Amino acid sequence: MVAAVRTAPIVSVLAAVALVVVFMPRSARRALDPNEPIAADGSMTAGRAATIYDTNPLFGAFRQPLPGSDEPQDIEDDIKHAVWTAEHDRAPMKGLLGPLNWSRCKTIAHLQLVSAVRMYYGTRGREISRFSVRGPRATAAIEQVWSTPADRQIDDFVRHALQYGILRKGDLPGHTYPEFAKVFAGVQELGAGCSTTDGR
């Protein structure tokens, strides 16, 4: 009897809390967190729009930024390695440049294409992200490394592959490949795409 008297107020409080939680009005839109990767509408307006490179350790998150400052002499040494990295990850893409036809939908050819595009835009995004934290000079330097005629040719090739439907934006999710999402944000997928009968 004494135990029942003691637990009655606790049960009443818990019931009141449950009623408040169940019937409390909720706002139609929740406030965006500064570290939310991308706003729900895809506008990248959530705080500073943290990307996967800021939140996932597999993509270099929580790694210390490149040592050195935004001074030209510090940037010069690091850019030499960045140029080598860019050339290394451009090579598979450059090997795939050529006519876009439905032979690209064959299983092996399509896997090679998607894999090369993922590697290229993944590396490009990581490098730009790592240098951009150092300041405007480092940002300008790394953007120049990734803005060669070969890079423009690769962007054009991938843009056409998206438009024809040989590649899909879903092949490279924006939260994992933010550089890809940024470069091709305005591209519409117009083609019929590779169907299952094409050997995908």
> pLDDT (tens digit, 9 = 90+) per residue, 57-113?
676 665 555 556 667 777 787 888 888 888 888 888 888 888 887 788 888 888 888
Range of the domain at 171: 68-198
78 and 159 together in one domain? yes
16 and 32 together in one domain? yes
How far is 72 from 26, CA to CA, in rounded Å? 52
51 and 87 together in one domain? no
Measure the CA angle with vertex 169, ends 39 and 181; round to 5°. 45
Predicted pLDDT of residue 22: 64
- What is the pLDDT confidence band of residue 149, given thresholds at 50, 70 and 90? very high
55 and 109 together in one domain? no
Q: How far is CA 68 from CA 27, 71, 86, 125, 133, in A?
A: 45, 8, 20, 20, 11
Domain count, the chain: 2
73 and 123 together in one domain? yes
Q: What is the pLDDT of residues 153-164, one digit of tens each?
A: 998 998 888 888
Q: Contact, 180 vs 114, CB < 8 A?
A: no
Q: Count of alpha carbons within 13 Å of 200, Cβ hemisphere only?
A: 17
Predicted pLDDT of residue 200: 44
